[in-house]
Amino acid sequence: MSSREQQRKHPRSLRIIAGSWRGRRLTFPPSTGVRPTPDRVRETLFNWLRDRIEGARCLDLYAGSGVLGFEALSRGARETWFVERDRALADAIAAHARVLAAAVRVVNEDVERFLERNDVGSFDIVFVDPPYTMPVEPIAARLPSILNTGALVYFERSAREGLPQGEMFRWHKTSRAGAVTYGLAAITPAPRA
């Protein structure tokens, strides 16, 4: 059996690196092309968030494997909403939530459509990790209406693409690990013309 055939038949997995579910493995379908956030990046991100994660309401946009949202829950977040348009990935996230008895809501739809809804409430921490070729500025521009005061938004991009810039982004922390650049920002509404 070729390695490609093995990948199609056997799910990929990653582990939660800290908190009450430390060491627990999450599996996700290999055929989806998901690019999970590396352990080293997650460790840095959650060190940045350590004083803000307890009791936070989180939103994981472009959830993929769901590892960012589950890592937040493992470390004391009150609730996480996962938005993922790929049905197989959304089902995998829901299955993990059932096993872990986690306080989650899995939304199987496009992020753009989700952000048009007015019934989602507001969030303290938002994770934005779309495909690297997708511009994030249009999504960021729609976030202020669902952010609590003092909310932070995590962005992950390829180092080649870089983090978004502009008046709406007030960067608190940024870093780079290999081919990945990432950071935490406060998002302010863009000025009206």
Higher pLDDT, 193 or 149: 149
Domain ranges of the chain: 3-187
pTM: 0.90
At 9-20, the pLDDT tens digits run 446 888 999 999
What is residue 31's DSSP assignment?
G
Asked if 140 and 169 count as a contact pair (C-beta separation under 8 A), the reply is yes
Asked if 126 and 140 count as a contact pair (C-beta separation under 8 A), the reply is no
Categorize the per-residue pLDDT at 31 as very low, low, confident or very high, splitting at 50, 70 and 90: low
At 48-71, the pLDDT tens digits run 999 999 999 999 999 999 999 999
Q: What is the mean pLDDT of residues 128-154?
A: 92
Asked if 58 and 82 count as a contact pair (C-beta separation under 8 A), the reply is no
Strands (E), the chain: 12-15, 25-28, 57-61, 79-83, 104-107, 123-128, 147-158, 169-177, 180-187
What pLDDT sits at residue 148?
94
At 79-103, the pLDDT tens digits run 999 999 999 999 999 999 999 999 8
Categorize the per-residue pLDDT at 131 as very low, low, confident or very high, splitting at 50, 70 and 90: confident
* CATH annotation of 3-187: 3.40.50.150
CB atoms within 10 A of CB 170: 11
